[in-house]
Amino acid sequence: MKNKYKEKCIGVLLGTAVGDILGASVEGYPREAIRNAYGEVRDFWDSGRGFGRYTDDTEMALALAQSLVECNGVDGEHCAQAYANYYNPWRGYGGGAHVVIQALKQGADYRETGTIQFRDGSFGNGGAMRIAPVGVVYHNKTDEELKTVVFEAIRCTHVHPEGIDGAVAQAKGTALLTSLEHPADFTPKAFLEAILEICSTEIMIKKIRYLQTVLGEDVLDDTVIRHVGCGIRASEAVSCALWAAIKYYNDPEEAVIKSVNFGGDTDTIGAMTGALMGTLHGKDWIPKRWLDNMENRTYGRDYMIKLGTELSGVTL
C-alpha cells in the first residue's frame, strides 16, 4: 500500500493541475457556450495566461501541500503564510483573495482575515478547490478531526459555513478515495453516504441528497448540473465534482473532461474532479498529451511529482 499511497499523493497534485488547466480556457462559460465554441473541451487551450498554465486553484493547493510537508500536518498560520508566499496575482485570484493575501503579507492575524472582504465570510469554493491534500494526509482520521484541520487550513480566507462545508465535503471525498487500495473497491453509494454524514449545512446536505436520488438513474448531466448549479458557491462546484466522480470513476480522464464541460466555474470543478480521480487512481491515468503540455517551470510538473512524494512521507 505504501507505493500506492505515494502514487495517490502525486496523483492528487497532478490531477488538480490537469483539471485546472483543462477548465481554465472556458472558465465562466455556460455549458451551451462551450458546446458552441469547442464542441467538447478535451485538450488544453491558452486561457490567456499562457498555454498549459494552471490557475490560483493549483497554486493554492501546492502552497497547502508544501505547508503540510514542512509542518508535518496542518498549521493554520503556516498555511496562511504559504498562500501569501506562493501568490502570483496573474494566476486568476478572485478579488476577495487578493485583499486577504495582501493583508497576510502585511502581518494580519490569519484568524481574522476571513472576514475582511465579507462580514460573514466567503461562501465561495476557494477553500474546497485547494483542500484535497489535507484529505489525503488525514485520510485515516475521524470526521471531527478532519473538520477541525480543514477549517484551520482555510480559515484565513473562508469562515462562512457553506465555504467550510464545501471544503469538508471535498476533503472527505479525497480521504475516502485515498483509503481504498484498489479503484474497484469504490462504491458511489457508500461514498455519498459518508460525505453526507460529515456535512452540516442545509444547502450542502440538500445537494448531496439530490445526487443520491439520481445515482444509478438514466439522468443527463445537463439535468443534474441545472439542479445543483455550477457557479462559484462551494456547494455548487463541489457537487459538480462529486457528480463527475461518482458517474465516471471508471474512466478518470473522461471524468475530468466531463466536469469541465459542465460549464460555470470550470477550472475549479475540473481541479476538484482531478484531485478526486488522482486519489482514486494515482497518476498513471493522466494522458501523455496533458502531462507533456502542462507547465514545468519552478513549480510545474516535476515539482508536483517531488512534492507529492514528500507529501507521502507526512506521518500523523
Render pLDDT for 243-298 as a digit per residue (tens, 0 to 9).
999 999 999 999 999 999 999 999 999 999 999 999 999 999 999 999 999 999 99
Separation between Cα atoms, residue 276 and residue 29, nearest integer Å: 23
Mean pLDDT of 100-105: 96
Residue 1, pLDDT > 70, answer no
User: What pLDDT does 61 receive?
Assistant: 99
Separation between Cα atoms, residue 51 and residue 33, nearest integer Å: 21
Q: Kindly state the percentage of the chain with pLDDT values over 70.
A: 99
pTM: predicted TM-score of the whole model, two decimal places: 0.98
User: What pLDDT does 221 receive?
Assistant: 98
* pLDDT 10s digits, 226-237: 999 999 999 999
Residue 306, pLDDT > 70, answer yes
CATH of the domain at 95: 1.10.4080.10
| Grid cell digits, residue 62 | 501546492
Residue-range definition of the domain harbouring residue 149: 2-311
User: What pLDDT does 117 receive?
Assistant: 85
User: What pLDDT does 297 receive?
Assistant: 94
Number of H helices, E strands in the chain: 16, 0
In a domain, 23, yes or no: yes
Mean pLDDT of 72-100: 96
Separation between Cα atoms, residue 110 and residue 156, nearest integer Å: 5
In a domain, 316, yes or no: no
Number of domains in the chain: 1
Contact 27, 267 (CB under 8 A): yes
Q: Please report, in angstroms and rounded to a whole number, the separation of the first and last CA atoms in the chain.
A: 17
Separation between Cα atoms, residue 150 and residue 12, nearest integer Å: 16
Those residues whose C-beta lies under 8 Å from the C-beta of residue 58, and which sit 6 or more positions away, are 16, 17, 20, 21, 271
Residue 26: pLDDT band (50, 70, 90) is very high
In a domain, 199, yes or no: yes
* pLDDT 10s digits, 156-168: 999 999 999 999 9
Q: Taking all residues of the chain, what is their mean pLDDT, rounded to a whole number?
A: 97
* pLDDT 10s digits, 33-84: 999 999 999 999 988 889 999 999 999 999 999 999 999 999 999 999 999 9
User: What pLDDT does 2 receive?
Assistant: 66
Beta-bridge partners for 124: 233
Backbone angles phi, psi at 144, to 5 degrees: -65, -40
* pLDDT 10s digits, 288-305: 999 999 999 999 999 999
* pLDDT 10s digits, 143-200: 999 999 999 999 999 999 999 999 999 999 999 999 999 999 999 999 999 999 999 9
User: What pLDDT does 3 receive?
Assistant: 80
Mean pLDDT of 198-224: 98
